Amino acid sequence: MQAKLRVATQRQTEMVDITRQIQEALAGRTSGTGVCHVYVPHTTAGVTINEAADPDVVIDLLTALDRLVPRTAAYRHAEGNADAHIKTALVGTSAHVPVDNGRLVLGTWQGIFLCEFDGPRVREVWLRMLAEH
Amino acid sequence: MQAKLRVATQRQTEMVDITRQIQEALAGRTSGTGVCHVYVPHTTAGVTINEAADPDVVIDLLTALDRLVPRTAAYRHAEGNADAHIKTALVGTSAHVPVDNGRLVLGTWQGIFLCEFDGPRVREVWLRMLAEH
Amino acid sequence: MQAKLRVATQRQTEMVDITRQIQEALAGRTSGTGVCHVYVPHTTAGVTINEAADPDVVIDLLTALDRLVPRTAAYRHAEGNADAHIKTALVGTSAHVPVDNGRLVLGTWQGIFLCEFDGPRVREVWLRMLAEH
């Protein structure tokens, strides 16, 4: 099972809940059990797992990251998005989610979020199903 | 191999060394070689790998996270634990540890820690053994 | 496929692009398809994926981490490298990269970096190829 998702972000910084989109890609391609590797092939966007019930949670997360890593500072990188690269390092570029019989097995409150730090852009998310022993 | 651990945390923020508990779960269920996927199905607790020899190391880590992400601030999330969600995004919800013949293969100083950011609670840790090529 | 790389770092904090070294280890040992588990068995060094084109990007990342986690503060850990442990928790000790027919499949701008936070030292990086369903 390999799949590529496309996610069109709408803002400069944004957390996009991609749980359903991942689930749909899995459902069409695997009935397997294992761990889904969710990979973001970008350097100014990442992926994280956090609360999907209250949308304020990921807004607080974006605000905290903005405070810790300001958009403007004495950065050397000349493209104006050094903060986005740093935030990507803090959240990471992959997530790994258990799958049973083709269904994501998340905790009650968990969702999978694409973390856009330099949008809006069209982003890719690559999925692979890892096999269990 | 799939196993679920239960970890009862004792404080609001706490690093619990779960290395031995994971090793015991592995020993009972696999003689295999691969990578153990350690997954925390929560949004206010994570998992990390760090020094297990000097307990001051993870206390310093908790203190640093408290400084970077204060418990009280102008958060939108109304449950009073927005900081715990943000800290979870910084450390992550999964760790991946090499396993040889059913035994964790960690670096000399490494241990696996459940990171409690909104306790005390009973937390779950889910384990899966990923197969190697 | 299992391989161990050795990386001799040159400075106290440094981002070393190890993409080519990983690719060479893969090429000699596998023609497979899956996900490469890149593991750092240390507690004062980590691994991350970020931009490899402009070397200023990872310098900005090191500078930001130094600002967020100063070398000197009221740490309890007596070895003088508490900051390195904390930075390791922020970037993580493993990365996971898609592989097709023995070749790393990274995004256009991505490279894999060993993150040295308490060098110079000789570091190890352990590689395992995870199998896909």
One-letter amino acid for residue B5 of the chain:
L
| Predicted local distance difference test score (pLDDT) of residue C1 | 66
> What average pLDDT score do residues C12-29 get?
94
Mean pLDDT (chain B) is: 96
| Pick among C51, C59, C100, C113 to test the A interface (most A CBs inside 10 A) | C51
Is A68 an 8 Å CB contact of chain B? yes
| Predicted local distance difference test score (pLDDT) of residue B82 | 98
> What average pLDDT score do residues B32-46 get?
96
Q: Decide if pLDDT at C31 tops 80.
A: no
**Which residue from A43, A85, A128 is facing C35, i.e. has the nearest CB?**
A128
Rounded Cα distance, C71 and C82, in Å: 8
| Predicted local distance difference test score (pLDDT) of residue B1 | 66
* Sheet containing strand C34-39, strands side by side: C2-8, C122-131, C34-39, C94-100, C103-104
Rounded Cα distance, B43 and C7, in Å: 35
Q: Chain C partners of B108 at a C-beta cutoff of 8 Å?
A: 41
The H or E element that residue A29 is part of is helix A19-29
Count of residues in chain C: 133
Among A28-42, A119-133, B102-116, C63-77, which stretch is predicted with the lowest mean pLDDT?
A: A28-42
Q: Decide if pLDDT at B128 tops 70.
A: yes
pTM: 0.98
CB A118 within 8 A of CB A81: yes
The domain that contains B125 carries what CATH number? Answer: 2.60.120.460
ipTM above 0.90, yes or no: yes
SS3 label, residue C18 = coil
Phi, psi (5° rounding) for residue C65?
A: -65, -40
- pLDDT tens digits for range C72-114: 999 999 999 999 999 999 999 999 999 999 999 999 999 999 9
* Residue B106 domain boundaries: 2-131
Q: Residue A1: pLDDT band by 50, 70, 90 thresholds?
A: low
**Which residue from B50, B59, B133 is facing C43, i.e. has the nearest CB?**
B50
Total number of domains in chain A: 1
Rounded Cα distance, C90 and B74, in Å: 23
Q: Which pair of tokens denotes residue C105?
A: 């499949």
| Predicted local distance difference test score (pLDDT) of residue C32 | 86
Q: Which pair of tokens denotes residue A119?
A: 């949008």
- pLDDT tens digits for range A74-111: 999 999 999 999 999 999 999 999 999 999 999 999 99
Centroid of chain to Cα B99: 17
Handedness of CA A99, B2, C131, C109 (dihedral sign): positive
Is B66 an 8 Å CB contact of chain C? no
Residue of B10, B28, B7 lying closest to B120 (CA atoms): B10
